[in-house]
Amino acid sequence: MTPRRFLFGIHLTAGSAAGLVILVMSVTGVVLAYKRQIIQWANRGFQSQPAAGVPRLPVEQLAAKLQPAQGQTPSAITVRSDPAAPVAFDLGRERTLFMDAYSGQVIGEESPRLRAFFAILVSSS
């Protein structure tokens, strides 16, 4: 084996290893950058049912309906401008519940597997 071929083998091995590390960092960086959009896409099935002439319920009234049922105060509330978008209530870091903005009914919960995936992704970076 010539010295040139030996150095090429070392260079190829080191470059391939570095390339794999850079690829993993790039992919996880893109996933984290689009975290909000990914979560919104995954929860696209939860929709409020707006009726003609019926206004949205105030956030205070929605929170008052949610608190006795869940036994805890929401740590964050997300209200989007889309009339069909549900109101999201974060209950600590563990759960997010979606409520119909017009009826006040709980219509679903964010996927615990998706939340666990992002928790692992953030803790490993």
CA end-to-end distance (rounded Å), the chain: 40
Give residue 115's pLDDT. Answer: 86
The CATH T-level fold of domain 39-124 is: Nuclear Transport Factor 2; Chain: A, (3.10.450)
Q: pLDDT of the chain along its 125 residues, tens only?
A: 899 999 999 999 999 999 999 999 999 999 999 998 998 898 888 888 887 788 888 888 888 888 776 777 888 899 988 888 899 998 877 788 899 989 888 898 888 888 888 888 888 65
Give residue 16's pLDDT. Answer: 96
CA–CA separation, 110 and 119 (whole Å) = 14
Domain residue extents for the chain: 1-33, 39-124
Segments of 1-125 assigned E as strands: 76-78, 87-91, 95-99, 106-109
User: What global pTM score does this model have?
Assistant: 0.70
